[in-house]
Amino acid sequence: MQDDGSASCACKGIRRCLKCENVKGKEQLETNEPKAVHQFLYDPETRLAVPRDADSSCFSFPGVFLQEDFISEEEEVELIRTIDRDVWNDSQSGRRKQDFGPKVNFKKQKVRLSSFSGLPAVSRSLVLRMQSEASLEDFRPVEQCNLEYLPQRGSSIDPHLDDSWLWEEVQVSVLLPRRSLLVLFGEARHRWKHSIRREDIQDRRVCSTFRELSEDFLSGGRHEEMGAKLLDISLSFRGTPV
């Protein structure tokens, strides 16, 4: 969908953007939403989950590693300039994406390597910097997804849990606050759903999410050979979006 909403969107199922609401009507789409949802924000200073409403209480929220100023303002400008050289594809909920990863059928648990050429060259230094952190020294990503959010599209992402058949528990994103490194693991990733509300998107927002392989694709797993191939391709850093 174009920024002015002139073209059709890529939403499917109950997912929606501003274009959906203009065509289908907001009330019709809201009938599919859960009746009771409690939303929390992560407070990096207290490391607590803070409720958005008065009906819930704060609680400890382990499984989050946050490093502010992971990249500099100058790096941010150059990263965005480089990312924008590649084609952005329309995605669901008013987002656009660039996917550097293997094609995966999670229902059939199959991975296809044919179109996968690895992570982009610009990410080599970022991955090395991540690995300099003690908790990420063994982090070897095999997928990178760049996501763009714009208020003109009503961009968002519904509360969800990521599939863990292919991906390991560590998920790295440049998200909150700006230019920071955010790592979700353990219960923070596998028990609690995460989302981005359209109300929180006030201007263009670009994030990069990196994922590593699950144990089944690493040493000793039944997909070990496939895992080795994925790592070799990924860490060549010669990738183009698939």
Model pLDDT for residues 49-100, shown as the tens digit of each residue? 888 877 788 989 999 999 999 999 999 999 999 999 999 999 999 999 999 9
Residue 195: give its domain's CATH number: 2.60.120.590
Decide if 4 is inside a domain. no
Highest mean pLDDT among 36-40, 102-106, 119-123, 166-170: 119-123
- Which pLDDT band holds residue 140 (cuts at 50, 70, 90)? very high
d(CA 22, CA 87): 26
Q: How confident is the model at residue 11 (pLDDT cuts 50, 70, 90)?
A: confident
- Rounded to 5 degrees, φ, ψ at 82 are -70, -45
- pTM score of the predicted model: 0.85
Asked, for residue 19, whether it belongs to a domain, the answer is: no
Say which residue, 65 or 35, is predicted with more confidence: 65
Residue 179 inside a domain? The answer is yes
In a domain, 89, yes or no: yes
Average pLDDT on 207-227 reads 84
Which domain does 114 fall in, by range? 62-234
CA distance 211 to 169: 8
Mean pLDDT for all residues in the chain:
84
CA gap 117, 242 in Å, rounded: 8
Give a yes or no: residue 23 inside a domain.
no
In a domain, 7, yes or no: no
The answer to the question of residue 21 being in a domain is no
Average pLDDT on 99-107 reads 87
Region of poorest pLDDT, from 39-48, 140-149, 226-235: 39-48
User: 156-194: per-residue pLDDT in tens?
Assistant: 988 888 776 656 555 554 747 889 999 888 888 888 888
- What does the alpha-carbon distance between residue 73 and residue 189 come to, in Å, rounded to a whole number? 28
Q: Which helix (H) or strand (E) holds 157?
A: strand 157-160
- Overall number of domains in the chain: 1
Residue with tokens 């997912």: 15
Has residue 3 been placed in a domain?
Answer: no
